[in-house]
Amino acid sequence: MAALKITEIFYSLQGESATVGLPTVFIRLTGCPLRCVYCDTAYAFSGGERVEIDDILARVDRYGARYVTVTGGEPLAQTDCHELMIRLADKGYNVSLETSGALDVTDVDPRIVKVMDLKTPSSGEMQRNLYTNIDHLNPSDQIKFVIGDPEDYEWSKSIMHQYALPSRCAILFSPAMGQQNPTELAEKILRDRLPVRFQIQLHKLLWNDAQGK
């Protein structure tokens, strides 16, 4: 029976992405091969409990939500993540995957909305970006840049134009909490007339923690 190592399953408001503010069930998988400087979910690097997919689905069903986000850690580090997402989509859920962009997304079911985080210089993991993933994005997918400083901003603009990202999918610019002043980032986006969505992590404003990521 297929099973995954799970850190937590919880119900909250989506804190970011195109479905921000919507009640969502979050399935946080354990483990991640990256160690980003600004990571706010290091508690998911290890531990967790091994849960069969049937049991995960039963837990999700109890919340009665339409939206489910599979997150981590890095969900794609566990190969059975694909089966979980397929079965969620088969049950009629609107499923999104939060992934670092460092692992191959080729085999992700096309019904799943990929929210792919391209790592900026200040993350300390920029060299892990797998740029071939860009060719496997659908118009409903999203690319997120976490901006920590002016170098991150300029780098993100360069990558966005180099790969013609706005023609592929939605682009999200998010200030790194405690590093990038949100107002300054918003003003830069307006100044440069960037075709991106500015976002602040809603869950941190409401609860000052990682819930809803």
Q: What is the CATH number of the domain that holds 89?
A: 3.20.20.70
DSSP letter for 97, please.
E
pLDDT at 202: 82
Tokens of 112: 């799943």
Please count the structural domains in the chain.
1
Q: Does 33 reside within a domain?
A: yes
Q: Does 212 reside within a domain?
A: no
pLDDT at 209: 64
Tokens of 90: 């088969």
pLDDT at 146: 97
Per-residue pLDDT of the chain (213 residues; tens, 9 = 90+): 799 999 999 999 998 898 999 999 999 999 999 999 988 889 999 999 999 999 999 999 999 999 999 999 999 999 999 999 999 999 999 999 999 999 999 999 999 999 999 999 999 999 999 999 999 999 999 999 999 999 999 999 999 999 999 999 999 999 998 899 999 999 999 999 999 999 988 877 788 764 444
Considering only CA atoms, which of 107, 81, 87 is closest in space to residue 5?
81
> pTM for the complete prediction?
0.93
Angle at 122 between CA 12 and CA 114, to 5 degrees: 40
Q: Does 198 reside within a domain?
A: yes
Q: Does 213 reside within a domain?
A: no
pLDDT at 169: 97
pLDDT at 212: 44
User: CA 75, CA 73: separation in Å to the nearest integer?
Assistant: 6
What residues contact 106, with CB distance under 8 A and at least 6 apart? 133, 136
> Residue 137 is part of which domain span?
3-207
